[in-house]
Chain A
Amino acid sequence: MLKHFRNKKADSTVSIDMITKQRRYESLVRALNTDIYRYAYWLCGDKHVAEDVTQETFLRAWKALDSLKDDKAAKAWLITILRRENARRFERKQFDYSDIEQDHLEDVFSGSNEQHAEQHLLRRQIGNLEMEYREPLLLQVIGGFTGDEIASILDLNRNTVMTRLFRARNQLKEAMEKTETRGLSHG
């Protein structure tokens, strides 16, 4: 009888734990799914693959949720999982998504008006950036991480990160200026 009671109590503790975990997971999804999806998109360059990778990332996060002690670190933690999932994707099948991404970028998010023309161009240029320059930029602009945090996520030293950020913006700036002058000369 006593044992039975004790078991029941243990059961309810377990289910309360489960409910807490469920709520925590849902908060995590609501707060960070947009950032994670964006990061995934710019990492793999395809809308559907980005969603798959995001799904896998959150599923892994659910399984390992108990290991996340500090909720403030959640974004960096999820991005670490995401990067691992993305790498796993390349282990599974060697497929170059960067070919798709250039065509795709224009289709998926293109608007019809003039105002967006520049943005499409910029998206294209970001898609053209080497991954080693693109990723620190994503972490800084989408993730809002500092140089030190980026260094820790990418396992690089801070100077390398700053140099790559410099080069990323430099390349984008030059590319945009080039198209601008070309546009002007045509005009």
Chain B
Amino acid sequence: MDELEFRRKAYAEPHSQDEAFLEAANADSAKHDFLSDLKSLDNKIADALHVSPPEDLTERLILRQQLKQHQKVKRTTSFVVSMAASVAFVAGVTFTMLRTGEIDLTSYAIAHQHHGPEHFSASKDISFAKINHELNGIKGLKGGHFTKQPGQVVFAKYCDFQGIKGMHLVMQNKTGGQVTVFIIPNEDRMIAKSNFEKDGFEGMTFDQNGNYMILVGKDQQDLNYVKKEIKDTFI
């Protein structure tokens, strides 16, 4: 290692553990002293560079990060809350739209027909006064009621047409044919075909004093008979 190389190395890396460098320093006392000088300068440089940080710097660094983190969590939480609110809002709107969507009365009527028994017991004869009492409980009917007995009624219960309360009657003519009658308050969103046929059932829909009448039965003649009865007795 020549003189120049040694000096350059000593300035650049006085604490170098490079073997050739250390050997060179040990072999020559002038080099050794030169290196010692530089090492001592380097120690002074190190002392000079070692300024003290503020005492509580560690705590402040951690605190600052935790405050940031806290804000972030809060932001995330409020984001989640607002997301949840949006979802709830959309769900609410969807639900309302479902409730206010068009209602196809005829398919509901058929579905009701399927759920009920095939044939109601013929022994009952429910009085029109009793039916009127029940009809009173349906606000949307606007006071629609029977003025006299519309033939034999073997079944009378409330029913639900997608949130709309209606009346479910089963009437029987003299030959034993049964016809289901749904009396439903008129609402704009309802659609109903005036005549329909499905799954072996015949049906008809007509308006009686602003209320829907849906008749479902097996026989067209029975339907016509019941229709006439209702036309005569329901106002």
Contacts and interface: CB of A to CB of B under 8 A. Distances in A.
B223 to A, nearest CB: 50
A109 interface: yes
Interface stretch (A2-10, A37-45, A84-92): A37-45
A62 B68 contact: yes
Interface in B52-80: 52-54, 57-58, 60-62, 64-65, 68-69
B225 interface: no
Contacts of A173: 11, 38, 41
Interface string B42-55: 10111111111110
Given A55-B60, A62-B68, A119-B47, A172 B53 contact: no
Interface in A49-90: 51, 54-55, 58-59, 62
A55 B78 CA distance: 27
Contacts of B44: 118-119, 122
A141 B61 contact: no
Contacts of B52: 109
A137 B45 contact: yes
A137 B15 CA distance: 13
A33 B61 contact: yes
B135 to A, nearest CB: 45
Contacts of A137: 45
Interface string B8-27: 10011110000000000000
Contacts of B54: 37, 47, 51
A119 B48 contact: yes
B13 A54 contact: no
B65 A58 contact: yes
A109 B61 contact: no
Interface of A: 25-26, 29-30, 33-34, 37-38, 41-42, 47, 51, 54-55, 58-59, 62, 108-109, 118-119, 122-123, 126, 137-138, 140-142, 147, 162-163, 165-166, 169-170, 172-173, 176
Given A38-B50, A172-B41, 9 more contacts: A29-B61, A33-B58, A42-B51, A54-B57, A54-B61, A122-B48, A141-B45, A169-B42, A170-B11
25 contacts: A26-B62, A29-B61, A34-B53, A38-B53, A42-B51, A51-B54, A51-B57, A54-B53, A54-B57, A55-B60, A58-B61, A58-B64, A62-B68, A118-B44, A122-B44, A123-B48, A137-B45, A141-B45, A165-B13, A166-B11, A169-B14, A169-B38, A169-B41, A172-B45, A173-B11
The 6 closest A-B pairs by CB, nearest first: A37-B53, A165-B12, A166-B11, A122-B48, A162-B12, A166-B12
